[in-house]
């Protein structure tokens, strides 16, 4: 009987690693490093944004408290104005605290002011007194 040489195709891996296996390991390390850097920068950016939001919310609450305080002061001042604008109270303060007296008939002088307001007349008749330099030059060129 003749023994046949059968080639069953057993491929055994060598005991040493090939040079090709080192290069993918280096790329994998680089990819992991880049991924860690990206995640770190993203987390730092998010933390920074949340810190800004917190600062703005604290500033907003301070401003709202100031606004409410000023509104309270404004309300108190309105009440004070209403109490001081009473004509009877004004007359009482003028007579008692300031020592004022009502004028006699000979002390009253009436002046006829007229129907037109002098401030309005002066504003309409300024004749270039209040114009700036460029407006005067433009006025000369247009004529």
pLDDT in tens, 47-96: 999 999 999 999 999 999 999 999 999 999 999 888 888 888 888 888 99
| Confidence at residue 52, expressed as pLDDT on a 0 to 100 scale | 96
- Classify residue 133: in a domain, yes or no: yes
- Classify residue 9: in a domain, yes or no: no
| Per-residue confidence band for 27, with pLDDT thresholds at 50, 70 and 90 | confident
| Confidence at residue 117, expressed as pLDDT on a 0 to 100 scale | 62
Structural domains of the chain, count: 1
- Classify residue 93: in a domain, yes or no: yes
- Classify residue 82: in a domain, yes or no: yes
The pTM for the full model equals 0.41
- Residues with Cβ < 8 Å from 89, sequence gap 6 or more? 83
Residue pair 100/94 in contact (Cβ under 8 Å)? The answer is yes
- Classify residue 29: in a domain, yes or no: yes
The parent domain of residue 64 ranges over 19-142
């Amino acid at each position: 009987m003749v023994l046949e040489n059968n080639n069953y195709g057993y491929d055994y891996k060598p005991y040493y690693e090939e040079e090709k296996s080192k290069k993918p390991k280096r790329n994998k390390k680089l990819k992991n490093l880049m991924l860690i850097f990206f995640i770190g920068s993203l987390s730092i950016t998010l933390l920074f944004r949340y810190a800004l939001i917190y600062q703005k919310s604290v500033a907003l609450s301070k401003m709202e408290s100031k606004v409410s305080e000023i509104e309270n002061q404004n309300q108190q001042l309105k009440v004070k104005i209403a109490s001081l604008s009473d004509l009877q109270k004004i007359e009482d303060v003028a007579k008692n605290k300031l020592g004022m007296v009502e004028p006699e008939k000979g002390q009253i002088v009436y002046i006829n002011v007229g129907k037109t307001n002098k401030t309005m007349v002066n504003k309409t008749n300024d004749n270039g007194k209040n114009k700036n330099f460029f407006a005067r030059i433009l006025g000369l060129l247009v004529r």
